[in-house]
């Protein structure tokens, strides 16, 4: 009879959350008391949105060489800078090059790699599937409503760099500002399509909507007989949990919409976005507890990022820690083709290996599905459901019979992670189409 020995409580790392006044480690916030730091208004007011101010805040904290490196990185980035004091205080400035949060939000020139030759600015084809501005209707019963074009933080790897945040040196953005005339077009379309049952309210980020806007969107959607499910999507909980604790108007707007939906037998939930266990602190737990007490379901959608969560240990800890704070791990996305962040992408094989490791480490409902959002508009496909995967060229092919039947969707591993033979072929533009043809040939197609 095999009996597992008890585990030492101290070894359960997922329960060990950063507590105390950790923000004081950064000189810029050394005199900030707890009440001030927990105030969402102070966090928003002191969020840094200019590169020069960010780098000035780091003077004397990091070597001058790092600041010069970051200046080069920002000049090449498709996204603007936006970092809250909370986020900056979580970065290990003694080792900024390897810190998993710095990697996600602050580019450095020395780590940048050339974009993949098959990259496009709107790599997922969201605009091509938009019947009206800011509404993507790709799946039969679900639509993505981009309510606005700002976020509480700008992730380097944002797949909507074609629209989110202001223009950069390299990218002139599509405008999706919070505009009620544009919203009305979206609502009219949604109401006219009886097959639509599920609406994702995103952007941008629902954190940036005022409470009255949350209520307006929720009321309009819940009043439609066809709508059964609404998801409010926000990265904000990961980078500014203080809003959940101290912005009572926004918090009540979410809670009331959830309860209004429940009274109508409709499901309203929050989707958020944690990528690394270091993003989860004691403050995060307080915020999630407040949502949990009100019966709000929160799910997580992570992105698989090189140097951030691409090892079994890091991904496993992230999943366990999410479960500990009552956030259901839902998806892990294989990194999309996004300009300026080839250094963050991993191979498809990395995702396949991670899925094997994490399955069985916790309950099935707290185990995420690893997915590829097929470039060109195929939608989310289980990572392991590829039709073809050539590990030398890094080319994989997916089909989406319930979304766009008969079409093929190509995904691509980062070139620097391929074997020498694959890197050499991608270095020759004349080899690009033959590599795709070879992949098709494995399907019996020319």
The per-residue pLDDT for range 317-359, each reduced to its tens digit, is 999 999 999 999 999 999 988 888 999 999 999 999 999 999 9
What average pLDDT does this structure show over 9-36?
A: 94
* pLDDT tens digits, 398-433: 999 999 999 999 999 999 999 999 999 999 999 999
User: Sign of dihedral through CA atoms 159, 161, 164, 165?
Assistant: positive
Q: Are the beta carbons of 346 and 304 closer than 8 angstroms?
A: yes
Same domain, 363 and 237: yes
Same domain, 106 and 161: no
Residue 82's pLDDT is 86
Same domain, 189 and 106: no
Same domain, 257 and 367: yes
Residue 95's pLDDT is 95
Same domain, 256 and 191: yes
Q: Are the beta carbons of 83 and 105 closer than 8 angstroms?
A: yes
Confidence of residue 126 (pLDDT cuts 50, 70, 90): low
Same domain, 106 and 144: no
Q: State how many domains the chain has.
A: 2
Residue 10's pLDDT is 87
- Domain membership of residue 248 (yes or no) is yes
User: Sign of dihedral through CA atoms 191, 331, 112, 417?
Assistant: negative
Q: Which H or E run includes 105?
A: helix 100-105
- Domain membership of residue 166 (yes or no) is yes
Q: Is the pLDDT confidence value at 33 over 50?
A: yes
CA 43 to chain centre: 21
Pairing verdict, β 267-272 and 298-304: parallel
What average pLDDT does this structure show over 115-127?
A: 73
- Domain membership of residue 240 (yes or no) is yes
- Domain membership of residue 437 (yes or no) is no
Assigned token pair, 161? 């760099």
User: What is residue 423's three-state secondary structure?
Assistant: helix
Domain with 300 in it: what CATH number? 3.20.20.70
Q: Is the pLDDT confidence value at 91 over 80?
A: yes
Same domain, 366 and 274: yes
Buried b (16+ CB within 10 A) or exposed e, 93-127: beebeebbbbbbbbbbeeebeebbebbebbbbbbe
User: What is residue 200's three-state secondary structure?
Assistant: strand
Confidence of residue 172 (pLDDT cuts 50, 70, 90): very low
Neighbours of 437 (CB within 10 A): 11
Same domain, 37 and 183: no
Q: Are the beta carbons of 403 and 379 closer than 8 angstroms?
A: yes
Beta bridge partners of 331: 301, 369
Residue 1's pLDDT is 63
Same domain, 43 and 162: no
* pLDDT tens digits, 2-22: 788 888 888 899 999 999 999
Q: In a 10 Å sphere around its CB, with 0-12 CB exposed, 13-18 middle and 19+ buried, how is residue 30 labelled?
A: exposed
Rounded to an integer, what distance in angstroms lies between the CA atom of residue 30 and that of residue 118?
Answer: 46
Same domain, 151 and 297: yes
Full 3-state SS string of 378-395: CEEEEHHHCCEEECCCCE
Spell out the residues 6+ positions from residue 55 whose beta carbon is closer than 8 angstroms to its own: 67, 70, 71
Rounded to an integer, what distance in angstroms lies between the CA atom of residue 158 and that of residue 155?
Answer: 5
Same domain, 204 and 259: yes
Q: Is the pLDDT confidence value at 163 over 70?
A: no
Rounded to an integer, what distance in angstroms lies between the CA atom of residue 300 and that of residue 199?
Answer: 17
Buried b (16+ CB within 10 A) or exposed e, 162-198: bbbbeebeebebbebebeeebbebbbebbbebeebbb
User: Sign of dihedral through CA atoms 218, 221, 224, 230?
Assistant: negative
- Domain membership of residue 2 (yes or no) is no
Domain enclosing residue 41, as ranges: 18-110
Q: Are the beta carbons of 214 and 184 closer than 8 angstroms?
A: no
Q: What distances in angstroms separate CA 371 from CA 53, 301, 350, one per listed residue?
A: 37, 10, 12
- Domain membership of residue 168 (yes or no) is yes
Cα of first residue to Cα of last residue in the chain, in angstroms, is 58
Same domain, 66 and 206: no
């Amino acid at each position: 009879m095999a009996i597992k020995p008890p585990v030492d409580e101290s070894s359960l790392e997922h329960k060990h959350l950063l507590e105390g006044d950790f923000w004081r480690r950064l000189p810029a916030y050394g005199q900030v008391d707890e009440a001030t730091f927990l105030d969402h208004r102070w966090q928003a007011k002191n969020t840094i949105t200019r590169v020069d101010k960010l780098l000035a805040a780091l003077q004397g904290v990091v070597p001058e060489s790092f600041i010069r490196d970051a200046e080069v990185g920002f000049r090449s980035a498709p996204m603007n800078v936006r970092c809250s004091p909370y986020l900056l205080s979580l970065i290990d400035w003694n080792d900024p090059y390897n810190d998993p949060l710095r990697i996600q939000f602050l580019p450095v020139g020395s780590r940048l790699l050339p974009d993949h030759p098959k990259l496009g600015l709107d790599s997922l084809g969201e605009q091509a599937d938009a019947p009206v501005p800011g509404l993507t209707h790709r799946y039969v019963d679900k639509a993505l409503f981009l309510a606005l074009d700002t976020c509480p933080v700008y992730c380097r790897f944002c797949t909507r760099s074609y629209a989110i945040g202001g223009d950069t040196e390299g990218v002139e953005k599509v405008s999706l500002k919070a505009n009620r005339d544009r919203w009305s077009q979206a609502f009219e379309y949604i109401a006219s399509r009886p097959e639509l049952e599920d609406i994702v309210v995103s952007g941008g980020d629902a954190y940036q909507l005022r409470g009255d806007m949350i209520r307006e969107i929720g009321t309009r959607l819940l009043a439609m007989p066809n709508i059964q499910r609404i998801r409010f999507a926000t990265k904000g909980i990961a980078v500014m949990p203080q809003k959940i604790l101290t912005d009572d108007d926004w918090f009540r707007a979410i809670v009331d919409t959830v309860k209004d939906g429940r009274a109508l037998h409709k499901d309203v939930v929050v989707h958020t976005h944690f990528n690394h266990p270091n993003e989860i602190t004691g403050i995060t737990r307080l915020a999630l507890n407040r949502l949990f007490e009100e019966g709000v379901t929160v799910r997580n959608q992570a992105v698989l990022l090189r140097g951030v969560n691409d090892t079994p240990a890091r991904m496993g800890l992230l999943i366990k820690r999410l479960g500990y704070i009552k956030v259901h791990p839902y998806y892990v996305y294989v990194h999309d083709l996004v300009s300026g962040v080839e250094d963050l992408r991993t191979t498809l094989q990395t995702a396949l290996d991670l899925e094997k490791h994490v399955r069985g480490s916790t309950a099935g409902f707290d185990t995420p599905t690893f997915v590829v959002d097929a470039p060109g508009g195929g939608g989310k496909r289980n990572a392991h459901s590829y039709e073809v995967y050539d590990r030398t060229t890094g080319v994989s092919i997916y089909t989406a019979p319930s979304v766009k039947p008969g079409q093929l969707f190509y995904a691509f591993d980062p070139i620097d992670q391929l074997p020498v033979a694959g890197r050499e072929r991608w270095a020759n533009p004349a080899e690009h189409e033959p590599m795709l043809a070879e992949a098709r040939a494995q399907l019996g197609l020319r």
